[in-house]
Amino acid sequence: MPHVNGLEAMVSLRRQVPKAKILVLTMHNTKEYINQVVRCGARGYLLKDSAPAELVAAIKAVHSGEVHFSPSVSKILVEEMADGDRKAQAPLPPPLTDREREVLSLIAEGLLNKQIADRLGIGVRTIETHRERIMRKLDIHTVAGLTKYAIARGMTTMP
């Protein structure tokens, strides 16, 4: 989608058609993204490597008013629910765009702005703007804090 990411499109669709039944087919399998998609109203969530039969089953389930999440996604959701019961519910930060999640992941891996810009093929100033927006949205103002956030949400494989 050239002008909006999947989350933004889903929010817009839900505003325009509140009864829309949304099934997400994506390559994203991070806890943060899955939680954002569910909060935005998705009734199903499959990874792009799902079997064709599972996709058909998901379409039928969501169309008939049921929910359908791939087993790996269901596991993540159940673990998050269990964690949520143990923690006080804090207000949810605004969703990050796909690019912001990508930049945050690279920040958490310890890359500098120039290195991130080179890897993504964009300007250093653009990376600085993404970093500022991420920090503002998450109300986190240190690299250590961003790294901790990314690790806690499974956005990076760094220990």
Same-domain check for residues 110 and 138: yes
Q: Which region among 71-75, 97-101, 109-113 has the lowest average model confidence (pLDDT)?
A: 71-75
Same-domain check for residues 10 and 60: yes
* Within a domain: 53: yes
Write the DSSP string, 29-62. Answer: --HHHHHHHHHTTEEEEEETTS-HHHHHHHHHHH
CATH number where 121 lies: 1.10.10.10
* Within a domain: 17: yes
Same-domain check for residues 79 and 117: no
Residue 122's domain comprises 98-152
**Per-residue pLDDT tens over the stretch 16-58:** 998 899 999 988 888 888 888 888 889 999 999 899 999 999 9
* Within a domain: 159: no
pLDDT (0 to 100) of residue 104: 94
Residue ending a domain, among 41, 57, 86, is: 86
pLDDT (0 to 100) of residue 159: 47
Same-domain check for residues 71 and 114: no
How many CA atoms, within 13 angstroms, populate the side-chain half-sphere of residue 151? 11
For the entire predicted model, the pTM comes to: 0.53
* Within a domain: 126: yes
What is the residue-averaged pLDDT of the chain?
A: 86
* Within a domain: 157: no
pLDDT (0 to 100) of residue 85: 56
Same-domain check for residues 80 and 112: no
Same-domain check for residues 25 and 71: yes
Query: Where do the H-state alpha helices sit in the chain?
Result: 6-16, 31-39, 52-63, 71-86, 98-108, 113-120, 124-138, 143-152
Same-domain check for residues 73 and 10: yes
